[in-house]
Amino acid sequence: MERESKLRHVSKQFQIYGEIRHAELCKIGHINETYTASYDQGGIEVRYVHQKINKSVFKKPVQVMDNVMRVTRHIRRHLEETEAADLTRRVLTVVPTRSGRPFWRDENGDYWRTFVFIENVETFEAVETPKQAYEAAHAFGLFQQQLVDLPGKRMHETIPDFHNSRKRFEALEEAIADDHFGRVRSAVLEIKFALKHEKIVDVILRLMSQGRIPERITHNDTKFNNVMLDVKSGSALCVVDLDTVMPGCALYDFGDMVRTTTSPTLEDEPDLSKVEMRLPMFKQLARGYLNSAGGFLNKTERAHIAFSGKLITFTIGIRFLTDYLNGDTYFRVHRPHHNLDRSRTQFKLVESIERKEDKMQDFVDQL
């Protein structure tokens, strides 16, 4: 089925009032297939997001949607209590199917879901101002804080061991040993860098197993482009991309913000001389995060805030490298060696963080 008529077919499955006019593929994101669709509802344009879940990454889409529903409902309830205005712009709203389910399964066994489109917001691939870093960190900290009192059973682990840096490291070792695509020789320096840093992969895992760092409900994909900023005020309104919300470590969320907001570059910047952890950005990030999450973080978590930036940047770097060696099957690529470039950029950032780690943590300690 060609795209237009496929989307028309998808749109009919959901409780949407209006006729679909036009749908556009959204090019951001490495995993799911996302469309922005506009509808004509009695002469007024309303927009929705239709998304096909990548089922080779998310093997249990029903569990993903169960998590998403619990989290969005809970946050909405909190917002209603505070009588905040503009709720559909402050938390994602899932539009149910005509039979009341949170997703629709198509003829190929693919899962589709629909969200209300958040209007008058923008996202950025790279941070432009320190205020944006503050806003992003505050928003993700608030998100964690809103979920501290989520009632009910433990959330589903939609991707087991998602940020388990030891397992990610083992996967890299396996990819190097297999070398199925003969790419090891083109990644010698990156592999060397990764192997040299093995010692950092167990630090947080150990603290968690000792009970010194607790499991919390975390977002797990706190890239800067997952925060919606109000077009007028520049304030963060909403965080999106909730597929990996699950039990995790609060620090991993902070760490991925360091990865995606402190360097002026994109994650695949080929010019490494531009890749750098900028302290002013980090400071705003730490301020924003502690202003919303500071109330529940314990001492051990606080003491590892700077370290978490290094660890997550390193871990995502080895994931890119592993995918490169395995023939680019996980992250969508747009050019040859794309995943290798991405890993190299992460490693450059790790080096920059390493040089400034003490200064970063000193700043956090005096907040």
Using CB under 5 A as the criterion, which residues of the chain lie in contact with Mg ion when the complex forms? 221, 241
| In the complex, residue closest to ligand GN1 by CB | 31
How open is the CA angle 294-137-163, to the nearest 5 degrees? 90
As a whole number of Å, the CA-based R_g of the chain is 21
Comparing CB distances to ligand GN1, the nearer of 29 and 247 is 29
The structure tokens listed for 130 are 């320190």
- Least separation in angstroms between residue 241's CB and ligand GN1 is 5
Question: Applying CB under 6 A, which of residues 267, 276, 301, 341 lies at the interface with ligand GN1?
Answer: 267
Distances (CA, A) of 283 to 42, 228, 292, 306, 354: 48, 21, 15, 11, 16
Task: For residue 57, state whether it binds ligand GN1 (rule: CB under 6 A).
Answer: yes
Sign of CA dihedral 69, 71, 77, 82: negative
Angle between helices 130-146 and 61-81 (to 10 degrees): 100
Angle between helices 305-325 and 279-293 (to 10 degrees): 110
Question: Applying CB under 6 A, which of residues 13, 144, 145, 244 lies at the interface with ligand GN1?
Answer: 244
Per CB under 6 A, which region of 25-33, 43-51, 107-115, 352-360 contacts ligand GN1?
25-33
Task: For residue 323, state whether it binds ligand GN1 (rule: CB under 6 A).
Answer: no
Distances (CA, A) of 345 to 8, 331, 339: 40, 15, 10
Residue 57: contacted member of ligand GN1, Mg ion, none (CB under 5 to 8 Å, by partner type):
ligand GN1
Comparing CB distances to Mg ion, the nearer of 257 and 286 is 257
Report CA 359 to chain centroid distance, whole Å: 26
Determine the Cα–Cα distance for residues 98 and 39; give it in Å rounded to an integer: 17
Residue 30: contacted member of Mg ion, ligand GN1, none (CB under 5 to 8 Å, by partner type):
ligand GN1
Determine the Cα–Cα distance for residues 256 and 224; give it in Å rounded to an integer: 9
Task: For residue 328, state whether it binds ligand GN1 (rule: CB under 6 A).
Answer: no
Comparing CB distances to ligand GN1, the nearer of 39 and 347 is 347
- Least separation in angstroms between residue 185's CB and ligand GN1 is 25
Q: Compute how many residues bind ligand GN1; rule: CB under 6 A.
A: 10
Residue 316: contacted member of Mg ion, ligand GN1, none (CB under 5 to 8 Å, by partner type):
ligand GN1
- Least separation in angstroms between residue 165's CB and Mg ion is 18
**Short-list 291, 315, 302, 319, CA closest to 360:** 302
Determine the Cα–Cα distance for residues 353 and 259; give it in Å rounded to an integer: 9
Instruction: Report CA dihedral (178, 183, 186, 191) to the nearest 10 degrees.
Output: -30
Site for ligand GN1 in 348-367 (CB under 6 A): none
Residue 332: contacted member of Mg ion, ligand GN1, none (CB under 5 to 8 Å, by partner type):
none
Site map 157..196 versus ligand GN1, x via CB under 6 A:
----------------------------------------
Binding site residues, ligand GN1, CB under 6 A: 29-31, 57, 221, 223, 241, 244, 267, 316
